[in-house]
Amino acid sequence: MKRAVIILLLIPLISFSQEKIEKVEVIKSDTQIEELTSSLGNNEIRVDFLDLLIFPALTIAYEKSNNPYSGFGSTLFINLAGEGDVGDDYNDKFLLTPYYRFYFLQSKDFGGYGIFAEIFTQFTSGKIAPGLAVGRKWINRNGFTFELLAGFGRNLLYDSDDDKYNDRSEGVARLGISIGKRF
């Protein structure tokens, strides 16, 4: 008799708990991806905190997403310490680095997100250095981004015999840890 009463009391509780249904939306089509990407914005501004921590320098980046799978932009490195105070690789007042990126893997979630490969060119006085970089970008639903980047290039105007360029290196490094915002 006690078992029958307990079973009769548990049946409404079990049926009540099963009535709660949660809606799950799975993004599968390119149209859905593009709508989500455009809701976050196609423009992004980032600040590289690695340069702020290691050097007295500021690197600001701007990126525009073409579509969920590629984007282009530019970074501006500003030497805040003065010429020669940041190190051999950054002895100029500024570096301008335009780039083009190809996003892979996780681009289905937010677009312009995930693992990427990048083609870049660094410009500064007397120095042009094309190169390649790879990295990873994370983005949250509010449009804030976090990015890790590593790449290398070669200085095309390097000449070890020329006194004008003797303080230049043959190769350049492109490293970064950035936080940004999509708009």
Give CA 118 to chain center in angstroms. Answer: 11
Per domain, the residue ranges of the chain are: 26-182
26-182: CATH number: 2.40.160
Instruction: Compute the 3-state secondary structure of the chain and give helix, strand, coil in percent, each to the nearest 5.
Output: 25, 45, 30
Q: Average the pLDDT over 163-177 and give the result.
A: 75
d(CA 97, CA 80): 17
Structure token pair of residue 168: 């230049």
* Residues 6 or more apart whose Cβ sits within 8 Å of residue 68: 30, 33, 34, 37, 103, 107, 108, 110, 111, 112
Helices (H), 75-183: 107-110
* Residues 6 or more apart whose Cβ sits within 8 Å of residue 91: 83, 84, 167
- Residue with the larger pLDDT of the pair 17 and 7: 7
Dihedral of CA 37/38/42/48: which sign?
negative
What's the pLDDT tens digit per position in 11-47?
666 655 555 566 666 656 667 666 766 778 889 999 9
- Give the DSSP H/E element, type plus range, for residue 35: helix 30-40
**Contact at 8 Å (CB) between 37 and 69?**
no
- Residue with the larger pLDDT of the pair 1 and 67: 67
pTM for this prediction: 0.72
Tell me the HSE value of 62 on the side-chain side, using a 13 A CA sphere: 4
Q: Give first-to-last CA distance, the chain, whole Å.
A: 66
What's the pLDDT tens digit per position in 52-110?
888 888 999 999 988 878 999 999 999 887 655 555 555 678 899 999 999 886 544 55
